Amino acid sequence: MPKIPVFDPSQEVDHLWQELNSSIQGVLKSGRFIMGPNVALLETEIAAYMDSKYAISVNSGTDALVIGLRALGVGPGDEVITTTFTFFATSEAICQVGATPVFVDIDPDTYNLDVIQIESKITSKTKAIIPVHLYGQPCRMDVVCDLARRHNLFVLEDVAQAFGASYKGKKVGTLGHVGAFSFFPSKNLGAYGDGGIIVTDDESVANSARMLRTHGAKKKYFNECIGYNSRLDELQASILRVKLKHIDAWNENRRAIAKRYTCFLETQVGAIAPIEISDTHCVYHQYTIRLLNSQRDKVKLQLEKLGIGSMVYYPVPNHKLPYFKGLKNILPEAERAGVEVLSLPIWPFLDRTKQNYVIEGLSRVLGRGVKPQPLANH
């Protein structure tokens, strides 16, 4: 019986072995490990890929959010509207800059923030909106950007899960004022360690971000504010430069796998496949299905018995996390998603045999009496 994890980078490493070896050796031989030529070139190449003016690399996706927020001037006393259904780093970053997250429920079809609900959360303290393109599915950015324009707010896109996705022909991460990407290894463009990047067209935001990532200094040893040690290292930058050349092909592989899973699920009553909203190019960082009637955990367990890994992103929406225990919000769609979603194995090198095994496994498990009814309000 094969063992299929949710994510496995090993075939990718095999595939790139020669290229990775020569670029890593190049860095080792150069003796430049921090802020060297690979970091500069990666920033230029990502700015070109995104069609944005500036790209500033940092230590992680979390730092990209924190530094992005600070570069926009978001701080104590400000409120930032975001989705409750995201990794904690999104709201943690808001708290780290001293601002307050204001959580919005999700659209049950896409799991992204319900743009209709944003306006009712805007107050005189609101400074920014953080849409998160969850699972690689772009948010409805025209509505978010229109609201932001009308209320004079910043838009910082959390693009940790959506490198290469686009909305109405434009790369996500370039639709708002700032895009914050993660290079965590499992991400669509993943390093072999931590990393992240900020993308913006705004020169003053770019300059602030550059200053903040190097201890608040524009010029070495002339520190102007409290910043961070948040630099991407040369080894990671050189690895990312190798991988960047393949990102579009790899995202297409993810889409092809997603299409096969969806074709299969359309013949089943047991689970609801993810949908793609119009005008989006989704990059399936995760392939996440919905299982109703309290069957999710049973399905997960049964898949595990067949050697098929799956993950729950995320069991607890942010407003229900222990850290936010004082909050009284009731955000029913996110709470429901927390008990119904399940992400299946997906990565660019997941071959057809393994895809078939996942499909067959799911078919067996769903055939074993796990037959949820369609959502009432769908």
Ligand X SMILES: Cc1ncc(COP(=O)(O)O)c(C=O)c1O
Q: Are 41 and 238 contacting, i.e. CB atoms less than 8 angstroms apart?
A: no
User: Is residue 333 within a helix (H) or strand (E), and if so which, with residue range?
Assistant: helix 332-340
In the bound complex, what is the minimum distance in angstroms from residue 263's beta carbon to ligand X? 27
Indicate whether 87 belongs to the interface with ligand X (CB under 6 A): yes
User: Is residue 144 within a helix (H) or strand (E), and if so which, with residue range?
Assistant: helix 141-151
Q: Which is nearer to ligand X, 133 or 281 (CB)?
A: 133
Q: Which is nearer to ligand X, 102 or 160 (CB)?
A: 160
Q: Which is nearer to ligand X, 23 or 90 (CB)?
A: 90
Q: What CA–CA distance (Å, rounded) separates 178 from 149?
A: 14
Site residues for ligand X, 173-192, by CB under 6 A, read 182, 184
Nearest to 238 by CA among 1, 11, 42, 6: 42
Q: Which residue is nearest to ligand X (CB)?
A: 61
In the bound complex, what is the minimum distance in angstroms from residue 124's beta carbon to ligand X? 27
Q: Which is nearer to ligand X, 306 or 312 (CB)?
A: 312
In the bound complex, what is the minimum distance in angstroms from residue 286's beta carbon to ligand X? 9
How buried is 109 (Cβ within 10 angstroms: 0-12 exposed, 13-18 middle, 19+ buried)?
middle
Q: Which is nearer to ligand X, 61 or 372 (CB)?
A: 61
In the bound complex, what is the minimum distance in angstroms from residue 191's beta carbon to ligand X? 9
Q: Are 118 and 73 contacting, i.e. CB atoms less than 8 angstroms apart?
A: no
Three-state DSSP at 278 gives coil
Q: Which is nearer to ligand X, 89 or 165 (CB)?
A: 89
Q: Name 336's Cβ contacts closer than 8 Å, sequence gap at least 6.
A: 108
In the bound complex, what is the minimum distance in angstroms from residue 158's beta carbon to ligand X? 5
User: Is residue 151 within a helix (H) or strand (E), and if so which, with residue range?
Assistant: helix 141-151
Task: Kindly determine how many residues on this chain lie close enough to bind ligand X according to the rule CB under 6 A.
Answer: 15
Three-state DSSP at 101 gives strand
Q: Which is nearer to ligand X, 158 or 335 (CB)?
A: 158
Indicate whether 89 belongs to the interface with ligand X (CB under 6 A): yes
Q: Hey, which residues does 4 pair with through a beta bridge?
A: 308
In the bound complex, what is the minimum distance in angstroms from residue 66's beta carbon to ligand X? 9
- Provide the residue type at 331 as one letter: L
Site map (CB under 6 A) of ligand X, residues 215-234, x = contact? --------------------
**Which residue reads 């499909």 in tokens?**
359
Site map (CB under 6 A) of ligand X, residues 153-172, x = contact? -----x-xx-----------
Interface stretch with ligand X, choices 86-94, 107-115, 202-210, 288-296 (CB under 6 A): 86-94
Indicate whether 239 belongs to the interface with ligand X (CB under 6 A): no
Q: Which of 56, 69, 132, 156 binds ligand X (CB under 6 A)?
A: 132
DSSP labels, 3-63? -B-S---HHHHHHTHHHHHHHHHHHHHHT--BS-HHHHHHHHHHHHHHT-SEEEEES-HHH
DSSP labels, 165-214? -EETTEETTSSSSEEEEE--TTSSS--SS--EEEEES-HHHHHHHHHHHB
Per DSSP bridges, beta strands 54-58 and 196-200 are: antiparallel
Q: Which is nearer to ligand X, 188 or 355 (CB)?
A: 188
User: Is residue 339 within a helix (H) or strand (E), and if so which, with residue range?
Assistant: helix 332-340
Indicate whether 103 belongs to the interface with ligand X (CB under 6 A): no
Q: Which is nearer to ligand X, 62 or 355 (CB)?
A: 62
Q: Which is nearer to ligand X, 107 or 194 (CB)?
A: 194
In the bound complex, what is the minimum distance in angstroms from residue 253's beta carbon to ligand X? 20
In the bound complex, what is the minimum distance in angstroms from residue 92's beta carbon to ligand X? 9
DSSP labels, 204-273? HHHHHHHHHHBTTBSSTT-B-S---B---BHHHHHHHHHHHTTHHHHHHHHHHHHHHHHHHHTT-SS-B-
In the bound complex, what is the minimum distance in angstroms from residue 280's beta carbon to ligand X? 17
Indicate whether 196 belongs to the interface with ligand X (CB under 6 A): yes
Site map (CB under 6 A) of ligand X, residues 52-81, x = contact? --------xxx-------------------
For binding to ligand X (CB under 6 A), which residues are involved?
60-62, 86-87, 89-90, 132, 158, 160-161, 182, 184, 194, 196
